[in-house]
Protein backbone atom coordinates (compact mmCIF):
# COMPACT_ATOMS: atom_id res chain seq x y z
CA UNK A 1 0.00 0.00 0.00
CA UNK A 2 1.39 3.43 -0.98
CA UNK A 3 1.78 6.35 1.41
CA UNK A 4 -1.13 8.19 -0.24
CA UNK A 5 -3.35 5.10 0.02
CA UNK A 6 -2.59 4.78 3.72
CA UNK A 7 -3.42 8.45 4.28
CA UNK A 8 -6.69 8.08 2.34
CA UNK A 9 -7.69 4.99 4.33
CA UNK A 10 -6.84 6.59 7.66
CA UNK A 11 -8.78 9.71 6.65
CA UNK A 12 -11.91 7.69 5.92
CA UNK A 13 -11.68 5.72 9.17
CA UNK A 14 -10.95 8.80 11.27
CA UNK A 15 -13.90 10.73 9.76
CA UNK A 16 -16.27 7.88 10.59
CA UNK A 17 -14.95 7.88 14.16
CA UNK A 18 -15.30 11.68 14.28
CA UNK A 19 -19.01 11.43 13.41
CA UNK A 20 -19.57 8.91 16.21
CA UNK A 21 -17.48 11.02 18.61
CA UNK A 22 -19.54 14.11 17.74
CA UNK A 23 -22.73 12.26 18.73
CA UNK A 24 -21.10 11.16 21.99
CA UNK A 25 -20.09 14.75 22.71
CA UNK A 26 -23.62 15.98 21.98
CA UNK A 27 -25.03 13.37 24.38
CA UNK A 28 -22.55 14.39 27.10
CA UNK A 29 -23.48 18.07 26.73
CA UNK A 30 -27.22 17.41 26.51
CA UNK A 31 -28.01 13.93 27.87
CA UNK A 32 -31.43 13.08 26.45
CA UNK A 33 -33.07 10.36 24.41
CA UNK A 34 -32.32 6.68 24.07
CA UNK A 35 -28.52 6.06 23.92
CA UNK A 36 -29.05 2.95 21.79
CA UNK A 37 -31.08 4.91 19.22
CA UNK A 38 -28.42 7.65 19.18
CA UNK A 39 -25.68 5.08 18.64
CA UNK A 40 -27.58 3.56 15.71
CA UNK A 41 -28.12 7.06 14.24
CA UNK A 42 -24.43 7.88 14.58
CA UNK A 43 -23.39 4.65 12.86
CA UNK A 44 -25.96 5.16 10.11
CA UNK A 45 -24.73 8.76 9.73
CA UNK A 46 -21.16 7.54 9.34
CA UNK A 47 -22.20 5.11 6.62
CA UNK A 48 -24.29 7.71 4.74
CA UNK A 49 -21.46 10.24 5.02
CA UNK A 50 -19.01 7.85 3.36
CA UNK A 51 -21.27 7.73 0.29
CA UNK A 52 -22.05 11.47 0.40
CA UNK A 53 -18.35 12.31 0.53
CA UNK A 54 -17.81 10.32 -2.64
CA UNK A 55 -20.62 12.25 -4.32
CA UNK A 56 -19.25 15.68 -3.36
CA UNK A 57 -15.67 14.75 -4.24
CA UNK A 58 -14.40 15.06 -0.66
CA UNK A 59 -12.25 11.97 -1.22
CA UNK A 60 -11.01 13.10 -4.63
CA UNK A 61 -7.56 14.35 -5.66
CA UNK A 62 -7.27 17.64 -3.76
CA UNK A 63 -3.50 18.05 -3.67
CA UNK A 64 -3.55 21.09 -5.98
CA UNK A 65 -6.76 22.60 -4.59
CA UNK A 66 -6.90 25.22 -1.81
CA UNK A 67 -8.23 24.06 1.56
CA UNK A 68 -11.43 26.09 1.20
CA UNK A 69 -12.53 23.78 -1.64
CA UNK A 70 -11.85 20.69 0.46
CA UNK A 71 -13.75 22.21 3.41
CA UNK A 72 -16.74 23.01 1.18
CA UNK A 73 -16.87 19.44 -0.11
CA UNK A 74 -16.67 17.99 3.39
CA UNK A 75 -19.39 20.32 4.68
CA UNK A 76 -21.50 19.57 1.62
CA UNK A 77 -21.23 15.85 2.33
CA UNK A 78 -22.13 16.40 5.99
CA UNK A 79 -25.18 18.52 5.10
CA UNK A 80 -26.27 15.89 2.58
CA UNK A 81 -25.87 13.25 5.31
CA UNK A 82 -28.09 15.20 7.71
CA UNK A 83 -30.76 15.68 5.04
CA UNK A 84 -30.77 11.95 4.24
CA UNK A 85 -31.04 10.99 7.91
CA UNK A 86 -33.88 13.45 8.40
CA UNK A 87 -35.79 11.99 5.45
CA UNK A 88 -35.18 8.43 6.69
CA UNK A 89 -36.39 9.30 10.21
CA UNK A 90 -39.47 11.04 8.82
CA UNK A 91 -40.27 8.12 6.52
CA UNK A 92 -40.17 5.54 9.34
CA UNK A 93 -41.82 7.95 11.82
CA UNK A 94 -38.82 7.86 14.13
CA UNK A 95 -38.24 11.60 14.70
CA UNK A 96 -40.10 11.98 17.98
CA UNK A 97 -37.53 10.12 20.09
CA UNK A 98 -34.72 12.56 19.27
CA UNK A 99 -33.94 15.82 21.03
CA UNK A 100 -33.68 18.77 18.62
CA UNK A 101 -30.98 20.34 20.80
CA UNK A 102 -28.97 17.14 20.81
CA UNK A 103 -29.25 16.67 17.04
CA UNK A 104 -28.29 20.31 16.53
CA UNK A 105 -25.22 19.84 18.72
CA UNK A 106 -24.30 16.71 16.77
CA UNK A 107 -24.53 18.53 13.44
CA UNK A 108 -22.42 21.47 14.64
CA UNK A 109 -19.85 19.30 16.44
CA UNK A 110 -19.65 16.93 13.48
CA UNK A 111 -19.02 19.77 11.03
CA UNK A 112 -16.32 21.25 13.26
CA UNK A 113 -14.61 17.88 13.78
CA UNK A 114 -14.69 16.91 10.11
CA UNK A 115 -13.30 20.24 8.88
CA UNK A 116 -10.82 20.44 11.75
CA UNK A 117 -9.59 16.96 11.04
CA UNK A 118 -9.11 17.71 7.34
CA UNK A 119 -7.16 20.84 8.26
CA UNK A 120 -4.98 18.76 10.58
CA UNK A 121 -4.33 16.23 7.81
CA UNK A 122 -3.34 19.09 5.50
CA UNK A 123 -0.91 20.45 8.07
CA UNK A 124 0.54 16.98 8.63
CA UNK A 125 1.00 16.38 4.90
CA UNK A 126 2.53 19.81 4.35
CA UNK A 127 5.15 19.05 7.00
CA UNK A 128 5.93 15.63 5.49
CA UNK A 129 6.10 16.97 1.93
CA UNK A 130 8.59 19.62 2.97
CA UNK A 131 10.76 16.72 4.14
CA UNK A 132 10.51 15.05 0.72
CA UNK A 133 7.82 12.51 1.59
CA UNK A 134 4.44 11.89 -0.06
CA UNK A 135 5.74 13.17 -3.41
CA UNK A 136 3.97 12.84 -6.74
CA UNK A 137 6.14 12.63 -9.84
CA UNK A 138 5.16 14.92 -12.70
CA UNK A 139 6.00 15.33 -16.38
CA UNK A 140 5.93 18.62 -18.29
CA UNK A 141 5.04 18.86 -21.97
CA UNK A 142 6.70 22.04 -23.14
CA UNK A 143 9.98 23.47 -21.83
CA UNK A 144 9.61 27.20 -22.50
CA UNK A 145 8.99 30.18 -20.25
CA UNK A 146 5.67 28.80 -18.97
CA UNK A 147 7.33 25.53 -17.92
CA UNK A 148 10.08 27.42 -16.13
CA UNK A 149 7.51 29.51 -14.29
CA UNK A 150 5.55 26.41 -13.27
CA UNK A 151 8.67 24.60 -12.01
CA UNK A 152 9.65 27.71 -10.03
CA UNK A 153 6.18 27.76 -8.47
CA UNK A 154 6.35 24.06 -7.57
CA UNK A 155 9.78 24.54 -5.97
CA UNK A 156 8.52 27.54 -4.02
CA UNK A 157 5.64 25.49 -2.55
CA UNK A 158 7.11 22.16 -1.39
CA UNK A 159 3.88 21.44 0.50
CA UNK A 160 2.32 20.57 -2.87
CA UNK A 161 4.48 17.46 -2.94
CA UNK A 162 5.15 17.64 -6.69
CA UNK A 163 8.41 16.38 -8.15
CA UNK A 164 8.93 17.16 -11.87
CA UNK A 165 11.06 14.34 -13.27
CA UNK A 166 11.12 15.08 -17.00
CA UNK A 167 10.15 17.64 -19.60
CA UNK A 168 9.43 17.20 -23.30
CA UNK A 169 9.71 19.77 -26.07
CA UNK A 170 9.61 19.78 -29.87
CA UNK A 171 12.52 22.20 -30.15
CA UNK A 172 15.59 20.02 -30.97
CA UNK A 173 17.95 22.59 -29.48
CA UNK A 174 16.36 22.12 -26.05
CA UNK A 175 16.42 18.31 -25.97
CA UNK A 176 19.27 17.07 -23.80
CA UNK A 177 19.31 20.25 -21.74
CA UNK A 178 17.41 21.17 -18.61
CA UNK A 179 14.49 23.39 -17.69
CA UNK A 180 15.04 24.84 -14.22
CA UNK A 181 16.95 21.66 -13.33
CA UNK A 182 14.44 19.26 -14.91
CA UNK A 183 15.92 17.19 -17.79
CA UNK A 184 14.39 17.67 -21.25
CA UNK A 185 14.43 14.10 -22.50
CA UNK A 186 12.70 14.17 -25.88
CA UNK A 187 9.95 15.51 -28.17
CA UNK A 188 6.36 15.90 -26.95
CA UNK A 189 5.16 12.70 -28.67
CA UNK A 190 7.32 10.62 -26.33
CA UNK A 191 5.66 12.01 -23.19
CA UNK A 192 2.76 9.53 -23.16
CA UNK A 193 5.06 6.48 -23.48
CA UNK A 194 7.36 7.84 -20.76
CA UNK A 195 4.42 8.55 -18.41
CA UNK A 196 2.85 5.14 -18.92
CA UNK A 197 6.13 3.23 -18.62
CA UNK A 198 7.25 5.09 -15.47
CA UNK A 199 3.69 5.29 -14.10
CA UNK A 200 3.96 9.03 -13.64
CA UNK A 201 0.57 10.11 -12.23
CA UNK A 202 0.56 13.81 -13.22
CA UNK A 203 1.26 15.44 -16.58
CA UNK A 204 1.25 19.22 -17.09
CA UNK A 205 0.91 20.77 -20.54
CA UNK A 206 2.94 23.98 -20.54
CA UNK A 207 2.68 24.98 -24.19
CA UNK A 208 1.87 28.49 -25.46
CA UNK A 209 -1.70 29.30 -26.50
CA UNK A 210 -0.71 29.39 -30.17
CA UNK A 211 0.06 25.63 -30.03
CA UNK A 212 -3.64 24.73 -30.08
CA UNK A 213 -3.32 21.94 -32.65
CA UNK A 214 -0.35 20.44 -30.79
CA UNK A 215 -2.30 20.40 -27.54
CA UNK A 216 -5.26 18.73 -29.23
CA UNK A 217 -2.97 16.00 -30.54
CA UNK A 218 -1.46 15.49 -27.07
CA UNK A 219 -4.91 15.23 -25.49
CA UNK A 220 -5.81 12.46 -27.98
CA UNK A 221 -2.60 10.60 -27.09
CA UNK A 222 -3.43 10.67 -23.38
CA UNK A 223 -7.04 9.48 -23.73
CA UNK A 224 -5.93 5.93 -22.89
CA UNK A 225 -3.36 6.92 -20.28
CA UNK A 226 -4.04 6.60 -16.53
CA UNK A 227 -2.11 9.83 -15.87
CA UNK A 228 -4.00 12.92 -14.72
CA UNK A 229 -3.56 15.59 -17.39
CA UNK A 230 -3.50 19.32 -16.55
CA UNK A 231 -3.12 22.40 -18.74
CA UNK A 232 -1.25 25.42 -17.38
CA UNK A 233 -2.80 28.28 -19.40
CA UNK A 234 -0.35 30.67 -21.01
CA UNK A 235 -2.05 33.80 -19.62
CA UNK A 236 0.42 34.94 -17.00
CA UNK A 237 2.00 37.52 -19.28
CA UNK A 238 -1.21 39.52 -18.78
CA UNK A 239 -1.97 41.66 -15.76
CA UNK A 240 -4.61 39.73 -13.84
CA UNK A 241 -7.17 40.57 -11.19
CA UNK A 242 -9.17 37.85 -9.45
CA UNK A 243 -8.27 35.10 -11.91
CA UNK A 244 -10.87 32.31 -11.78
CA UNK A 245 -12.43 29.73 -14.04
CA UNK A 246 -16.04 28.60 -14.37
CA UNK A 247 -18.45 27.13 -16.89
CA UNK A 248 -21.30 28.73 -18.85
CA UNK A 249 -23.55 26.11 -20.39
CA UNK A 250 -20.68 23.61 -20.40
CA UNK A 251 -18.26 26.07 -22.01
CA UNK A 252 -15.20 26.84 -19.85
CA UNK A 253 -14.59 30.55 -19.21
CA UNK A 254 -11.52 32.07 -17.55
CA UNK A 255 -11.99 35.47 -15.90
CA UNK A 256 -8.78 37.47 -16.16
CA UNK A 257 -10.10 40.67 -14.59
CA UNK A 258 -13.32 40.57 -12.61
CA UNK A 259 -14.74 41.69 -9.30
CA UNK A 260 -13.83 39.33 -6.46
CA UNK A 261 -16.99 40.25 -4.52
CA UNK A 262 -19.65 37.57 -4.83
CA UNK A 263 -23.23 38.32 -3.78
CA UNK A 264 -22.58 36.59 -0.44
CA UNK A 265 -19.51 38.72 0.20
CA UNK A 266 -21.35 41.90 -0.78
CA UNK A 267 -24.15 41.11 1.66
CA UNK A 268 -21.66 40.42 4.47
CA UNK A 269 -19.72 43.61 3.80
CA UNK A 270 -22.88 45.70 3.57
CA UNK A 271 -24.13 44.27 6.88
CA UNK A 272 -20.75 45.11 8.43
CA UNK A 273 -20.99 48.69 7.15
CA UNK A 274 -24.55 49.19 8.39
CA UNK A 275 -23.95 47.79 11.87
CA UNK A 276 -20.51 49.28 12.58
CA UNK A 277 -21.23 52.48 10.60
CA UNK A 278 -24.37 53.20 12.62
CA UNK A 279 -22.53 52.52 15.87
CA UNK A 280 -19.62 54.76 14.81
CA UNK A 281 -21.98 57.57 13.82
CA UNK A 282 -23.74 57.40 17.20
CA UNK A 283 -20.41 57.55 19.03
CA UNK A 284 -19.00 60.30 16.81
CA UNK A 285 -22.19 62.38 16.75
CA UNK A 286 -21.35 64.75 19.67
CA UNK A 287 -17.79 65.25 18.36
CA UNK A 288 -19.10 66.03 14.87
CA UNK A 289 -21.43 68.72 16.25
CA UNK A 290 -18.52 70.26 18.17
CA UNK A 291 -16.29 70.24 15.06
CA UNK A 292 -19.08 71.83 12.99
CA UNK A 293 -19.46 74.61 15.55
CA UNK A 294 -15.72 75.37 15.62
CA UNK A 295 -15.51 75.45 11.80
CA UNK A 296 -18.41 77.91 11.66
CA UNK A 297 -16.85 80.15 14.26
CA UNK A 298 -13.24 80.13 13.02
CA UNK A 299 -13.66 80.59 9.25
CA UNK A 300 -16.30 81.80 6.79
CA UNK A 301 -17.95 79.26 4.54
CA UNK A 302 -19.93 76.01 4.79
CA UNK A 303 -19.25 73.39 7.46
CA UNK A 304 -19.15 70.50 5.00
CA UNK A 305 -17.25 70.10 1.77
CA UNK A 306 -18.51 67.72 -0.91
CA UNK A 307 -16.32 66.49 -3.73
CA UNK A 308 -16.80 64.20 -6.74
CA UNK A 309 -14.75 61.04 -6.58
CA UNK A 310 -14.85 57.66 -8.28
CA UNK A 311 -16.66 54.88 -6.46
CA UNK A 312 -17.56 51.27 -7.24
CA UNK A 313 -17.09 50.40 -10.94
CA UNK A 314 -15.72 53.90 -11.59
CA UNK A 315 -19.07 55.63 -11.04
CA UNK A 316 -18.82 59.16 -9.67
CA UNK A 317 -20.01 59.72 -6.09
CA UNK A 318 -20.15 62.81 -3.86
CA UNK A 319 -18.20 62.27 -0.67
CA UNK A 320 -18.64 64.33 2.49
CA UNK A 321 -15.84 65.93 4.47
CA UNK A 322 -15.49 68.70 7.01
CA UNK A 323 -14.23 71.80 5.24
CA UNK A 324 -10.55 72.34 6.07
CA UNK A 325 -9.62 74.98 3.45
CA UNK A 326 -10.68 78.50 2.64
CA UNK A 327 -11.47 77.30 -0.91
CA UNK A 328 -13.66 74.49 -2.21
CA UNK A 329 -11.95 73.16 -5.34
CA UNK A 330 -13.88 70.42 -7.08
CA UNK A 331 -12.90 70.45 -10.73
CA UNK A 332 -10.00 69.48 -12.98
CA UNK A 333 -7.95 72.37 -11.58
CA UNK A 334 -7.88 70.63 -8.20
CA UNK A 335 -4.51 70.80 -6.46
CA UNK A 336 -3.58 68.22 -3.82
CA UNK A 337 -2.78 69.61 -0.38
CA UNK A 338 0.93 69.92 0.38
CA UNK A 339 2.88 70.65 3.56
CA UNK A 340 2.21 74.18 4.89
CA UNK A 341 -0.49 74.70 2.25
CA UNK A 342 -1.75 78.30 2.51
CA UNK A 343 -5.29 77.20 1.61
CA UNK A 344 -5.66 75.14 4.80
CA UNK A 345 -7.23 76.91 7.78
CA UNK A 346 -5.56 76.59 11.22
CA UNK A 347 -8.38 74.42 12.56
CA UNK A 348 -8.51 72.59 9.22
CA UNK A 349 -4.84 71.64 9.64
CA UNK A 350 -5.70 69.98 12.97
CA UNK A 351 -8.61 68.11 11.39
CA UNK A 352 -6.43 66.86 8.54
CA UNK A 353 -3.60 65.70 10.82
CA UNK A 354 -6.04 63.72 12.95
CA UNK A 355 -8.15 62.54 9.97
CA UNK A 356 -11.26 63.91 11.69
CA UNK A 357 -12.16 65.71 8.47
CA UNK A 358 -13.06 62.26 7.06
CA UNK A 359 -15.67 61.42 9.74
CA UNK A 360 -18.66 62.75 7.73
CA UNK A 361 -17.99 59.97 5.22
CA UNK A 362 -19.93 57.78 7.64
CA UNK A 363 -22.94 59.28 5.84
CA UNK A 364 -21.56 57.89 2.59
CA UNK A 365 -21.12 54.50 4.25
CA UNK A 366 -24.73 54.39 5.44
CA UNK A 367 -25.92 55.62 2.04
CA UNK A 368 -24.14 52.67 0.45
CA UNK A 369 -21.66 54.36 -1.90
CA UNK A 370 -18.68 53.90 0.44
CA UNK A 371 -17.51 51.28 2.91
CA UNK A 372 -15.75 51.53 6.26
CA UNK A 373 -12.76 49.71 4.76
CA UNK A 374 -11.58 49.87 1.17
CA UNK A 375 -9.25 51.73 -1.18
CA UNK A 376 -9.23 55.43 -0.34
CA UNK A 377 -11.02 57.48 -3.05
CA UNK A 378 -9.09 60.28 -4.74
CA UNK A 379 -10.40 63.39 -6.48
CA UNK A 380 -11.60 62.60 -10.01
CA UNK A 381 -8.93 64.83 -11.54
CA UNK A 382 -6.20 62.89 -9.71
CA UNK A 383 -7.64 59.53 -10.76
CA UNK A 384 -7.78 60.64 -14.39
CA UNK A 385 -4.13 61.64 -14.19
CA UNK A 386 -2.87 58.40 -12.64
CA UNK A 387 -4.99 56.06 -14.78
CA UNK A 388 -2.97 57.23 -17.76
CA UNK A 389 0.33 56.58 -15.99
CA UNK A 390 -0.29 53.32 -14.11
CA UNK A 391 -1.69 50.27 -15.97
CA UNK A 392 -4.42 48.57 -13.98
CA UNK A 393 -5.00 51.65 -11.80
CA UNK A 394 -8.79 51.49 -12.25
CA UNK A 395 -8.89 48.01 -10.72
CA UNK A 396 -9.08 49.88 -7.42
CA UNK A 397 -12.74 50.39 -8.20
CA UNK A 398 -13.64 46.71 -8.26
CA UNK A 399 -14.80 47.30 -4.68
CA UNK A 400 -16.35 50.24 -2.82
CA UNK A 401 -13.91 52.90 -1.60
CA UNK A 402 -13.38 53.11 2.14
CA UNK A 403 -12.77 55.57 4.95
CA UNK A 404 -9.68 53.59 5.91
CA UNK A 405 -7.78 50.90 4.04
CA UNK A 406 -4.89 48.45 3.96
CA UNK A 407 -2.62 51.04 2.32
CA UNK A 408 -3.42 53.66 4.95
CA UNK A 409 -2.71 51.46 7.99
CA UNK A 410 0.61 50.54 6.38
CA UNK A 411 1.65 54.19 6.17
CA UNK A 412 0.69 54.96 2.55
CA UNK A 413 -1.52 57.98 3.00
CA UNK A 414 -1.25 61.71 2.53
CA UNK A 415 0.28 63.41 -0.49
CA UNK A 416 1.04 61.26 -3.54
CA UNK A 417 3.53 63.52 -5.28
CA UNK A 418 5.35 60.65 -7.04
CA UNK A 419 4.27 57.67 -9.12
CA UNK A 420 6.19 55.39 -6.72
CA UNK A 421 3.97 56.43 -3.82
CA UNK A 422 0.82 55.75 -5.80
CA UNK A 423 2.20 52.39 -6.93
CA UNK A 424 2.62 51.40 -3.28
CA UNK A 425 -0.99 52.38 -2.60
CA UNK A 426 -2.09 50.34 -5.60
CA UNK A 427 -0.20 47.23 -4.47
CA UNK A 428 -1.77 47.39 -1.02
CA UNK A 429 -5.22 48.10 -2.47
CA UNK A 430 -4.96 45.15 -4.86
CA UNK A 431 -3.84 42.88 -2.02
CA UNK A 432 -6.89 43.94 -0.02
CA UNK A 433 -9.30 43.45 -2.93
CA UNK A 434 -8.00 39.99 -3.79
CA UNK A 435 -7.92 38.79 -0.16
CA UNK A 436 -11.02 40.42 1.32
CA UNK A 437 -12.66 38.77 4.32
CA UNK A 438 -14.63 40.11 7.28
CA UNK A 439 -11.67 39.18 9.48
CA UNK A 440 -9.36 41.25 7.27
CA UNK A 441 -11.71 44.23 7.63
CA UNK A 442 -11.79 43.84 11.41
CA UNK A 443 -7.99 43.73 11.51
CA UNK A 444 -7.70 46.93 9.45
CA UNK A 445 -10.24 48.72 11.66
CA UNK A 446 -8.35 47.56 14.74
CA UNK A 447 -5.04 48.76 13.30
CA UNK A 448 -6.65 52.10 12.45
CA UNK A 449 -7.79 52.54 16.05
CA UNK A 450 -4.63 51.13 17.66
CA UNK A 451 -2.23 53.24 15.63
CA UNK A 452 -4.34 56.33 16.10
CA UNK A 453 -5.65 58.80 13.55
CA UNK A 454 -2.63 61.11 13.63
CA UNK A 455 -0.22 60.63 10.74
CA UNK A 456 2.79 62.76 9.76
CA UNK A 457 1.93 62.34 6.08
CA UNK A 458 -1.51 63.93 6.48
CA UNK A 459 -1.48 67.69 5.89
- Please give the chain's pLDDT, 459 residues, in tens: 455 667 778 888 888 888 888 888 888 888 876 777 778 888 888 888 988 888 888 877 677 777 888 888 899 999 998 888 888 877 776 655 667 788 888 889 999 999 998 888 888 888 877 777 778 888 999 888 888 888 888 888 887 888 898 999 988 899 888 888 889 988 988 888 898 888 888 889 888 877 888 888 888 888 778 888 888 877 655 555 556 665 565 566 666 566 667 777 888 899 999 999 999 999 888 999 999 898 888 888 888 888 888 888 888 888 988 888 776 555 545 555 555 566 778 887 888 877 788 889 999 999 989 999 999 888 887 888 787 788 778 878 888 999 988 888 888 776 666 778 888 888 888 888 888 888 889 999 998 887 765 555 554
Spatial distance between the Cα atoms of 54 and 73, rounded to a whole number of angstroms: 10
Spatial distance between the Cα atoms of 207 and 215, rounded to a whole number of angstroms: 8
Q: Where are the alpha helices (DSSP H) in 162-317?
A: 191-198, 212-221, 263-298
| Residue 82 half-sphere exposure toward CB, CA atoms < 13 A | 17
**Count H helices, E strands: the chain?**
14, 12
* Domain boundaries for CATH 3.40.50.720 within the chain: 136-237
Distances (CA, A) of 224 to 120, 136, 186, 190, 218: 36, 20, 21, 14, 11
Spatial distance between the Cα atoms of 175 and 187, rounded to a whole number of angstroms: 7
**Amino acid 459: pLDDT:** 46
Record: fold of 136-237? Rossmann fold (3.40.50)
Cβ atoms of residues 30 and 107 within 8 Å: no
89: exposed, middle or buried (C-beta count within 10 Å: 0-12, 13-18, 19+)?
middle
Q: State the DSSP code for 230.
A: E
Spatial distance between the Cα atoms of 318 and 416, rounded to a whole number of angstroms: 21
Amino acid sequence: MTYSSRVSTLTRIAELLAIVAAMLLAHLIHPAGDPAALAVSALLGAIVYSFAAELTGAYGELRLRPFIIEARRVLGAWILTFICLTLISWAIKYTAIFSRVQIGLWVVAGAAMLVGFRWGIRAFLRAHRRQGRNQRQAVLIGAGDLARQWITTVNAYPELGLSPVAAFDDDPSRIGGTCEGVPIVGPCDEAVHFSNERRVPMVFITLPLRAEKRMHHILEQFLNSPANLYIIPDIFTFQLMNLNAFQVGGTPVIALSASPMSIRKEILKRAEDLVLGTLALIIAGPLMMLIALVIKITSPGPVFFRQWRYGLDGKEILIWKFRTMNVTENDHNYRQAIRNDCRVTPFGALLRRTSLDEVPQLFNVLAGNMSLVGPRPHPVAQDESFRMLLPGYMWRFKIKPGITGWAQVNGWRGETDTIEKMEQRMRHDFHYIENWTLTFDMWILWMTIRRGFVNPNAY
